[in-house]
């Protein structure tokens, strides 16, 4: 597992310390141990956990480490390439001074507030926190048992500055301190894009970004979320396809930037979100 992580992260432009690799190994051990008694993941081989959970989650840091030029190169190397990956940097200028500074800086995630919506067993949030300890991380999930387990994981791995919250995303986003409050919202494998936008974009402050982790087959789904992005006071920033090192799997980061505060009345109840997506 160690070799897979060190080589894979280095391929993604990241240079983890020995301590960070040890924490990832311990996280995998805790995950697979608990998975025997609680449904946390369908992936049960340590090597596959390293690739399909850890390296995949780390892609969000890969995108920041490379910077605009790296992304352009990656995009042209990657035949499946999504829409202009560098647009997160270029277009972020239109989001205002705060976003253009934070997103154009290669270490822009350092010290930022990040919320992982529907984190499950902690993906991508816990991996991001291990690899970028300065993040102020909030993990949200509607399943209490998973959230309680995540609390024990954060303690076991000595991760400071992490809140584990048992809540429904669409309800928590109505509370002050959460609404329009985060630099970055991330989410992986939670809902179709139009629904996911309503769950996640309300957390992002003006100038901040929402990154949805999607499959490369998500083109139509993402297109059908265009109106939701606009209705929530945001703007599509494009997407970036990345290959997970050591696999033939390619996934996609879909990015949207928040232009202003979340309109009143949003997000709606889950019943309404599901019945009539924005």
Q: Look at residues 214, 208, 260, 263 and name the one whose alpha carbon lies nearest to residue 237.
A: 208
Query: Does the protein bind ligand SAM through residue 27 (CB under 6 A)?
Result: no
Rounded Cα distance, 264 and 167, in Å:
20
Closest CA to 20 of 2, 45, 46, 42: 2
Least Cβ distance, residue 170 to ligand SAM (angstroms): 6
Q: Does 168 bind ligand SAM (CB under 6 A)?
A: yes
Q: Is there binding between residue 132 and ligand SAM (CB under 6 A)?
A: no
Could you say which of 190, 244, 253, 255 contacts ligand SAM (CB under 6 A)?
Answer: 190
Asked if 203 is part of the footprint of ligand SAM (rule: CB under 6 A), the reply reads no
The answer to the question of residue 199 lying near ligand SAM (CB under 6 A) is: yes
Q: Point out which residues pair with 136 in neighbouring strands.
A: 113
Residue with smaller CB distance to ligand SAM, 72 or 250:
250
The distance of closest approach from Cβ of residue 83 to ligand SAM in the complex, given in angstroms and rounded to an integer, is 23
Question: Long-range contacts for 17-23 (Cβ within 8 Å, ≥24 apart)?
Answer: 20/130, 20/131, 23/130, 23/157
Residue 252 contacts ligand SAM per CB under 6 A: no
Backbone angles phi, psi at 241, to 5 degrees: -90, 140
Q: Which residues of 68-91 are buried (b: 16+ CB within 10 A; e: fewer)?
A: eebbbebbeebeebbbbbbbbbeb
Nearest approach, Cβ of residue 262 and ligand SAM (Å) = 16
Find the shortest distance in angstroms from Cβ 77 to ligand SAM: 26
Q: Among 9-17, 142-150, 156-164, 236-244, which window interacts with ligand SAM (CB under 6 A)?
A: 142-150
Report the alpha-carbon distance of residue 243 to residue 253 in Å, rounded. 11
Report the alpha-carbon distance of residue 194 to residue 188 in Å, rounded: 14
Please identify, using beta-carbon distances, which residue of 199 and 256 lies nearer to ligand SAM.
199
CB of 119 vs ligand SAM, minimal distance in Å: 5
Interface residues toward ligand SAM, by CB under 6 A: 118-121, 123, 140-143, 146, 168-170, 188-190, 199, 270
């Amino acid at each position: 597992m160690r070799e897979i992580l060190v080589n894979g992260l280095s391929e993604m432009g990241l240079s983890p310390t020995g301590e960070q690799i040890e924490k990832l190994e311990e996280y995998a051990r805790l995950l697979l141990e608990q998975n025997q008694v609680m449904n946390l993941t369908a992936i049960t081989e340590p090597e596959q956990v390293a690739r399909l959970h850890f390296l995949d989650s780390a892609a969000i840091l890969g995108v920041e480490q490379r910077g605009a030029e790296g992304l352009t190169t990656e995009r042209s190397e990657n035949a499946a390439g999504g829409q202009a990956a560098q647009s997160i940097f270029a277009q972020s200028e239109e989001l205002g001074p705060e976003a253009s500074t934070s997103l154009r800086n290669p270490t822009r995630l350092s010290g930022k507030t990040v919320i992982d919506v529907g984190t499950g067993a902690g993906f991508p949030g816990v991996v991001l926190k291990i690899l970028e300890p300065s993040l102020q991380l909030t993990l949200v999930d509607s399943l209490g048992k998973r959230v309680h387990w995540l609390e024990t994981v954060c303690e076991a791995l000595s991760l400071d500055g992490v809140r584990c919250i048992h809540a429904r995303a669409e309800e928590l986003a109505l509370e002050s301190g959460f609404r329009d409050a985060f630099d970055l919202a991330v989410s992986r494998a939670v809902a179709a894009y139009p629904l996911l936008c309503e769950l996640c974009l309300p957390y992002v402050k003006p100038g901040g970004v929402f990154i949805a982790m999607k499959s490369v087959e998500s083109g139509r789904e993402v297109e059908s979320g265009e109106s939701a992005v606009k209705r929530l006071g945001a703007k599509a920033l494009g997407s970036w396809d990345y290959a997970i090192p050591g696999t033939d799997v390619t996934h996609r980061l879909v990015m949207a930037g928040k232009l202003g505060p979340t309109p009143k009345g949003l997000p709606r109840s889950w019943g309404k979100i599901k019945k009539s997506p924005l």
